[in-house]
Amino acid sequence: MEAPDLPAAAATKPTRLTRTRRTALLKALADPRRFELLEKIAKANCPLGCAQALAALPISAATLSHHIKELEAAGLIEVRREGKFHFLTLRPGALRALADGLAALDQTSCPAR
C-alpha cells in the first residue's frame, strides 16, 4: 500500500520547535567539546565509532560518554549499539528547525532609515 502524496506546502513547511526542545538543542550545542564531537560525526559521512571519536578528541572515555548522552538526549544524534560497540550518526534534519528559527530572527522587521 502506497503512502498518500503530501501537498508541496506540507513537505516544505518548517518544523516548529517547542521552547523546551529549542533550549535543549542550544544547551547541547553550547559546549565546545560537544560541538566538536557533532562536527566529527557529521564529517564522517558514515557512522562514527566511539573508538574513532575518542581517538580524535582529547577527552576521557567517561567524558565522551557524557557528551554522547547529552547529544542523544537533545535529539541531535542517533546511537546504534552492536554488542559492546557504539556507532554515532547525525539525526537527519535535527538542526533544520533550529536553523530555520534562527534565520527567522535575522529578518528585518523595521524599514531602514
CATH number of the domain residue 59 falls in: 1.10.10.10
Tell me the residue range of the domain where 77 lies. Answer: 25-96
pLDDT band at 112 (very low <50, low <70, confident <90, very high): low
Report yes or no on 107 lying in a domain: no
Report yes or no on 63 lying in a domain: yes
Domain count of the fold of the chain: 1
Report yes or no on 50 lying in a domain: yes
Q: CA–CA distance from 110 to each of 8, 21, 91, 107 (Å)?
A: 31, 29, 36, 9
Average pLDDT over residues 6-14: 46
pLDDT above 90 covers a percentage of the chain that reads 62
Cα separation of the two ends of the chain? 58
